[in-house]
Structure 1
Amino acid sequence: MIRETGAIQLSYPPVRPRTVRTVASITKVKNRLKRRKVVSSRKLSSELDISRTSMRQILKNDLGCRGYKKIVEPLLTDAHKAGRKKFTNWIRNNFRKEQTMKILFSDEKIFDTNGVYNSQNDRIWAVDRAEADKNGGIKQQQGFPQKVMVWLGVCSKGVTPLVILDTGTVDHVRYIKEVLPVALKYGNKVFGDDWTFQQDNAPAHKDEETQEWCRKHLPSFIPRERWPANSPDLNPLDYCIWDEFVTAIKWNKVTSKRTLIEELKRAVKKIRQEVILESCESWTVRLSNISKNSGCYLR
């Protein structure tokens, strides 16, 4: 054939013919995914009587698919989206870039003694389950872990002192007494009398007495009617700093409420300044993206 044509053109591939990953099987899997997109490869394998190895090859190599986890995000109604766009326009019309760098963002978060870990990415590599268990492959959790609520503020200059709210509930009276003075003192220290305080629409924040305290004592603040609902993607603490904070905690040292508080106090000092600055600088970019995507949630 080479002498006659200069090439080898075979009428069939020079390998063992496929018996499972046939055109019919690939088409069957493709049609199955069209009917119901949310399904595991294991269930597909069982339903279509195809081995899991062949099923993974069909999904990845033949169909070019990858498995993605569902992402949980706030449900945004049309009213929420309109409020987010309105807030974006208000900021862009009333704040210059240098003024947005003088906003002190704030938020609360609850930590418990069970800690935080990623079940998908925190893997233990071992030859068998017994060795994996021996090398830390078991995550023990308490049925009713002790919890601690903390408040933290962040701005382009750094983070505020951590406020530990470990007992009782946090109503507007306690919020005014224990949290707002910390924010006021820190803001005046790093910015003088030219800065803006941000808080979300939690009940203690939007209470009339809280709003009145802010009007009387703070140089400027974002009032409750301005901050859009369901918008954690607009707070640097939610979209960046809390993750940095959690990573800095040595969870293996947390065995009680006391050790949890000690670790929280230690970890807040480990938050990197470059991460803080980048998260605050990107805030105006996120506002611009909200205007472009009609107020939808930002990942």
Structure 2
Amino acid sequence: MAVRKPRLTPTERDTLPLLNVVIPPWEGSHPFNVGQDIEKYTPQELRKVASTKQRRTDFFEKTLLAIWYATGEQAVPYAFKTADQSVRSLDAGCLGFLSNREPPEIILLLDEEGFIRAVEPAFGLIDRYRMLGGDRLRLTVTLSTGQPDAQSLAEEDEPLGFDPAAQVDDRLKKESLITIREGAREFRKAVLLQWESCALSGCTVRDALEAAHLHRYGGVNTNHLRNGIILRADIHRLFDRHLISLHYHNGDLVFSVSRGLSNSEYQDFDQKRIMERDLPERRPHPVVVQKHYEEFCRMERNRSTEH
């Protein structure tokens, strides 16, 4: 007979802290659980219930960090009440996902009995989302009893923080060619956490993977998560030379391979499609995708006339 897990007591539920936030909605099982029957967990138990990376865990970590910002960078309680009077608790699977990363991306704070009472984002999580813009993260939750600002959550309206049409300084071009790039390590780590493998080949060998800029590197501002994609090193070089590109079609991401590679193994990747549902939440921004694809098409026309 299964042993019933420890739950919050009525007294503990009555004294839950109040956070002056409203949690954004989520379709399906919400990663900020709603309800009074709240199970308690120890750090050891998180290893057994950990989720895998998915859109739900992306939503959880972004919202968790937004709550942390919104409450003055205070530890986020494991269970709490919100401004709309709902009772929430942190999903154990999502907590397990973040605590089991290497290194862990959350710090677990325990009560006297060894159960999780609150969590804080670790530096790795903070640093990764810093690239997305702290101000935007602060808008993910609402600091009142109002509803989340739909405009602030609109993916396509998110500013990139740089102008894709701007000319790249010649000195930065030189830096790009010899891969001396400010923030390169942090950029690779952040993009790799989003994709986990080469977007085109599926390669998972970390030493063979690189973070490719869709809009050519032009300083630290172009190290934006939505200006990046993970590619195998050889594919990255072809991508930078616009022999391979990509574009959106009905929400899916579709790759195109130059006719100049038609007799190579790369031709097998032509028209490879990543379905919208399989794309990471911070998928490549349509503006930089379109710009890369337009340059690919222009160079394809030039390559055709040369032959």
Instruction: Report the TM-score, using the length of structure 2 for normalisation.
Output: 0.22
More helix by share: 1
Which structure ranks higher in relative contact order (CA pairs < 8 Å, sequence separation ≥ 6)?
Answer: 1
Kindly name which structure, 1 or 2, has the bigger radius of gyration based on alpha carbons.
Answer: 1
